[in-house]
Chains A and B, each alone.
Chain A
Amino acid sequence: MLVIKDLHAKIEDKEILRGINLEVKPGEVHAIMGPNGSGKSTLSSVLAGNEKFEVCEGSASFHGKDLLDLSPEDRAREGLFLSFQYPVEIPGVSMVNFMRTAVNEHRKYQEKDPFSASEFLKLMREKKKLVEIDSNLTNRSVNEGFSGGEKKKNEIFQMAMLEPKLAILDETDSGLDIDALRVVANGVNKLKSPENATILITHYQRLLDYIVPDYVHVLYKGRIVKSAGKELAHELEEKGYDWIKKEFED
C-alpha cells in the first residue's frame, strides 16, 4: 500500500529525514518510535503533504501512485489520513459543516453523489457511537475550546467518518489521561480491517499496550535504525533510547 524509498526531506536548510525506507501492507499496524527530534512528526507531515517541508530525494508511492506528486487534498481523498499531534481550532465552523464538506469532497473524488443532510447525519450518529464520542462535541466549532483529550477523540471521530486506507496517528497518545487513551485506542481498534493500515507515531510504549503493532521501528536522526516485532517496544520501555543513541552515535 505504502512504499517509501530513501526519503530525504528538509525544512529551511536543515535536513531532517535522511533516507527513510518503509513498506506498509494492508491490515498491518506499524509503530514508529524514537527520541525527541528524531524526525517522527516530520515523516507524517511529509507524507500528508505539508509544504513547510521540502522533499529533496527519494520516493513514496501509495497504491501505486506517486504520493509526492499529489496535492495534500488529493492524498487525503486517496485515503491517507493524518491524526494531528496538535489539531487546530477553526472558530465559527461547525463540526457538522466541516465534516460534511470533507466527506462530500471524498465522495466527489470517488464519483459518488454527495450525501444529503439526513444521510449525513445518520452516518455521523453511527460513527459517534462507534468511537464513543460525546455527542455535544460535534455541535461545536471545529476543535474550538476543546481540551487536549477532546481534540484527540475528535481526530479519531473524523477518521471514522472518512474511513481512510492508511491512517497516520501522530503522537495521538500525548497528553491523554488513561480514560481518553482507552477511548482513542478502542476507536482505532474498531476501525482496523484487513484492508486498511495504521502507522502509530509515538514516544511511549503505553499506547502500544492498547493498540498492538505488527512492527516497531525506531527512528533516529532521520533514519530507521531498527525494526522488529512488538517486543522491541518493551525493550525500549525498559532500556530507554540511550542504547540506540550509543549504537548509532556516528
Chain B
Amino acid sequence: MAEDQDKILEEVTGGEYKYGFYTDIETEFIPKGLSEDVVRIISAKKNEPEWMLEFRLKAFRHWLKMKAPNWAHLNIPEIDFQDIIYYAAPKKKPELESMDEVDPELRATFDKLGIPLDEQKMLSGVAVDAVIDSVSVKTTFKETLAEKGIIFCSISEAIQEFPDLVKKYLGSVVPHGDNFFAALNAAVFSDGSFVYIPKGVRCPMELSTYFRINAMNTGQFERTLIVADDDSYVSYLEGCTAPQRDENQLHAAIVEIITMERAEVKYSTVQNWYPGDKEGKGGIYNFVTKRALCKGDYSKVMWTQVETGSAITWKYPSCILQGDHSIGEFYSVAVTNNYQQADTGTKMIHLGKNTRSLIVSKGVSAGRSHNSYRGLVKVSKKAENARNFSQCDSLLLGDQCGAHTFPYLEIVNNTAKVEHEATTSKIGEDQIFYCNQRGMSTEDAVGLIVNGYVKEVINQLPMEFAVEAQKLLQISLEGSVG
C-alpha cells in the first residue's frame, strides 16, 4: 500500500528538465584552468582599471590558501578547479544599438526561455539584463531608468563608467575572505548586474537579470551589486537556466545589497539551473553567497527564493541588520527531486536596536533527494529589543528522500524575542485520494497540494514571476506524466 503510493509519487515526480537545450552561438573562450595569469587575462579582456585587477589578485591569492567548505549537509564530489573554463563569452559583434542587432540565435534562446528582451517587456514593466555564459549581452530600458537617475547596467560597464560607486561598495558586504566560493568569485567574476537607486526614487519597474550558462565546461561567476540610497525602493528579479549536460558545471555567484536610511529592496530569485538527470548525472553545482547590509535606520531587505534547479545548492541569502529598526525577511521554497541536494537557509544578524527579522522556509523533497534548512539568528549585545520569527516546514514526497533542519541561535542580549517553529509532513495519501475523488489526476493533485503548501512564499513574488514559479513547481515535480 505504502509502496503503491511511493510508486505513484515516483512516476509523478519523474519530470524532465525543459530548458536543457543548447544554443550554437559563436563563443570565445580562454584556456581551462585557474592561475594568476588567467585572472590577469580576464581583467585584461574586460579592459579593467588597475584597482579592479588588484581586487581580483588579492582575492585569488587568498583563495589559494582556502579550502572548500564541508560543513553543509551535502555530498559534494571533489571539484577540479583546473578543469573549468573561467571565461566564455558570446563572440562580440560590434556594439549593439538596438535589439535588432542582437545575435538572432541568442534572441531565439531568450525567446525559448520565455523572456523576450524587447518592447513586450515594456508592457509588463520589467527591465532585463541578460547574462549568457559570462557576459552581459543586453540591458533593456536603460534610458527610461536613467531619466530617474537609476543606474541599471552590467557590472563590467559599471566598473568603467561608475568606478567610484563600484569601488566604494564592491566587496563591502561580502569581502573576498568571507568564504572559499566568495574568494573564487572575486578573483574570476566575469559579469553580472549593477543597480543604483538614488535618494528618494521608487524604481518604476521590476529590474530583472536572466542568467544562462550555455557553453560546455564553463563556470559562471556572476556578481550583482545593488545600492539603494536613502528613501528609495527597488524590486529585483533573478532567473536562471542551463543546458542539459552530462558533466557537472560550477556556478559561484555573489550578490551584495546595501540599503541606506528607509530604503527598501526586494530581491526575488527563481533558480532553475539544470538539476541533473534522473540518475543524478550532470547538473549545476550552485554555490552562492548572497548578503544584504541594512545600513540605514528603518531600511528593509526582503529575500524571496524559489529553488528548483541545480544538482547541489549551497546558498544562504542573509541580512545584516545594522541600522536601528531595520527589517530583514527571508521567504524560501526549495524543491529537490531525484538525486538533487540542497542546503539552504539564511542568516539574520541583528546589530541595531529594534531590528526585526522573519524567516519562512518551505522545503519539498522528492525522489532520493536531500533538502536541508540551515539558518542562523544572531542577536548581538547592542541589539536591544530584537525580534525574530522563524518557520521551517518540510514536506516529503515518497520515502527515499530526506529533510533536515539546522537552526542556530546566538543570542547575547536578553531583550531579544526569538521564536522558531518547524514541521515535517508527508504528502498525504488521503489528500491525494480526496483530489482524485473530485476528478483530478494524481499529478494535478500533487501540484495543487505542493502549490498550496508553498503559497505563503509564492505570494511574496511579483505577480508574473509568481505564475512562472507555480508552473516551474509543477514541472519540477510532475514533469511530463499525463
Contact = CB atoms under 8 A, between A and B. Distances in A.
A213 to B, nearest CB: 23
A117 interface: no
B441 interface: yes
Contact of A82 (B437, B449, B456): B437
A73 B454 contact: no
A52 interface: yes
B449 A90 contact: yes
Contact of B440 (A81, A82, A105, A158): A105
Interface stretch (B224-232, B381-389, B414-422, B425-433): B425-433
Given A51-B4, A84-B434, A90-B434, A73 B439 contact: yes
B455 interface: yes
B93 interface: no
A91 B452 contact: yes
Interface string B98-118: 000000000000000000000
A99 to B, nearest CB: 8
B437 A93 contact: no
Interface string B432-456: 0111111111101000110111111
B449 A93 contact: yes
B451 A93 contact: yes
A76 B437 contact: yes
B431 A90 contact: yes
Contacts of A71: 436
A211 interface: no
Interface in A46-91: 48-52, 71-73, 75-77, 81-82, 84, 87-88, 90-91
A109 interface: yes
B1 interface: yes
Interface string A141-170: 110000000000000001000100000000
Interface residues of B, number: 26
B158 to A, nearest CB: 41
A75 B429 CA distance: 18
Given A51-B4, A92-B454, A162-B438, A72 B433 contact: yes
Contacts of B4: 51
A52 B434 contact: no
Given A72-B433, A72-B437, A76-B439, A98 B1 contact: no
A142 B453 CA distance: 12
A96 interface: no
Q: Which of A81, A105, A141 has the most CB of B within 10 A?
A: A105
A85 B305 CA distance: 39
A51 B442 CA distance: 13
A88 B431 contact: yes
B451 A92 contact: yes
A97 interface: yes
A185 to B, nearest CB: 22
A106 interface: yes
Contacts of A2: none
B1 A51 contact: yes
Contacts of A158: 438
A52 B428 CA distance: 13
B394 to A, nearest CB: 14
Nearest to B445: A73
Interface of A: 12, 48-52, 71-73, 75-77, 81-82, 84, 87-88, 90-93, 97-98, 101-102, 105-106, 109, 141-142, 158, 162
26 contacts: A48-B437, A49-B437, A51-B433, A52-B1, A52-B429, A73-B437, A75-B437, A76-B439, A88-B428, A88-B430, A88-B434, A90-B431, A90-B434, A90-B452, A92-B451, A92-B453, A92-B454, A92-B456, A93-B452, A101-B448, A102-B439, A102-B440, A105-B438, A105-B440, A158-B438, A162-B438
Which are the 7 A-B pairs with shortest beta-carbon distances? A92-B452, A93-B452, A72-B436, A102-B438, A92-B455, A76-B439, A105-B439
